[in-house]
Amino acid sequence: MGRVLEWDACWNIRDLGGYDTGSFRETRPGSVVRAGNLSRLTDAGRDALLGYGIRTVIDLRDPREFVVDLNPFHPDGPWAGQVEYASVPLISEAEWQAIRDPKVLKEGYVVTIDLSKANIARVFRALANALSGGVVVHCHAGKERTGVIAALLLALCGVADNVIADDYVASDRHLGSLYVEWAAREQDLEKRSRVLRGFASEPEHILVPLDRIRGEGGIATYLQHAGVTPAELIAVKERLCG
């Protein structure tokens, strides 16, 4: 089964299954999928999502984004009720306020793991309580907020840091056309070039927060301090790791 998936009018869709956990097992295919925005899915894309066994959608975006892009599985969307839908914003209000400072913004996902712990716990709780079947976790590009959750999930299962970093930077291969589209909004060519360079994902973007978590006692300790119960940790690991 291939890790890269195609759902019409969605981008950056990848199954988190098939990764070596270091314990003679691999993460389970069809269990958790990371993806970009589902809001533009066509009927064919929806059918592909459902046909892949997805039964729960976890939307990491801020509800303020719904004004522009409402998830079609949202209770107010056209496909309400076809899957279980959970709005679980990843970024806390404290983090939104903090990253207004350019110096703080440069700290990257370290700010997320420090200031959005409770929200991370809610995401893991949603995963632990999800219906049987596949779960898709998404934000807008499926790269940053989704990338943080994917990294934490893989770390919890024992996947090596270098493999987690490879999964993180792989988003660039799937988002190149979107990067060009977004950068084109900048009329000045020099600024446009800087914007494009700024989209580039580097391994250290995700490795630095993972190191921080390791310094706090490891992934399981971090998640429990964030508010995830031992039973919820077991449920999430059983879902993805088998």
Which CATH number does the domain housing residue 154 bear?
A: 3.90.190.10
* Any domain includes 4: no
User: Is the model's pLDDT at 172 over the cut of 90?
Assistant: yes
Q: Is residue 100 part of a domain?
A: yes
Helix ranges restricted to H, the chain: 43-51, 93-98, 102-105, 109-115, 117-128, 145-156, 161-169, 171-183, 189-198, 203-215, 219-226, 230-241
Q: Mean pLDDT across the chain, nearest whole number?
A: 95
Residue 196 binned pLDDT confidence (cut-offs 50, 70, 90): confident
Residue 67 lies in a domain: yes
Residue span of the structural domain in which 152 resides? 14-241
The structure tokens listed for 128 are 């632990």
Rounded average pLDDT over 50-59 = 98
Residue 2 lies in a domain: no
Q: Say if residue 1's pLDDT is above 60.
A: no
In this structure, which amino acid lies at residue 36? G
Q: Residues 91-115: what's their mean pLDDT?
A: 97
- What band does 232 get if pLDDT is binned at 50, 70 and 90? very high
Q: What is the pLDDT of residue 11?
A: 96
- How far apart CA 28 and CA 3 sit, in angstroms, is 11
Average pLDDT over residues 212-231: 97
Question: Does residue 177 lie within any of the structural domains?
Answer: yes
Asked if residue 171 lies in contact with residue 201, where contact means CB atoms within 8 angstroms, the answer is: yes
Task: Name the band, by pLDDT with cuts 50, 70 and 90, for residue 8.
Answer: very high
What pLDDT sits at residue 195? 76
Residue 9 lies in a domain: no
Measure the CA–CA gap between 183 and 86, rounded to whole angstroms.
Answer: 31
Residue 60 within a domain = yes
pTM for the full predicted model: 0.96
Give the residue-averaged pLDDT of 32-47.
98
Instruction: Report the pLDDT value the prediction gives residue 209, as an integer from 0 to 100.
Output: 98
The pLDDT-based confidence of 242 (bands split at 50, 70, 90) is confident
Q: For residue 235, what are the CA distances in angstroms to 157, 177, 203, 224, 239?
A: 12, 37, 29, 13, 6
Beta bridge partners of residue 57, listed in sequence order:
85, 136
- Checking if the pLDDT of 3 tops 80, the result is yes
For residue 182, pLDDT beyond 80: no
* DSSP symbol at 85: E
Number of domains the chain is built from: 1
Answer yes or no: is 47 within a domain. Answer: yes
Average pLDDT in the 20-30 region?
93
Confidence of residue 34 (pLDDT cuts 50, 70, 90): very high
Read off the pLDDT of each residue in 62-72 and give the average, rounded to a whole number: 97
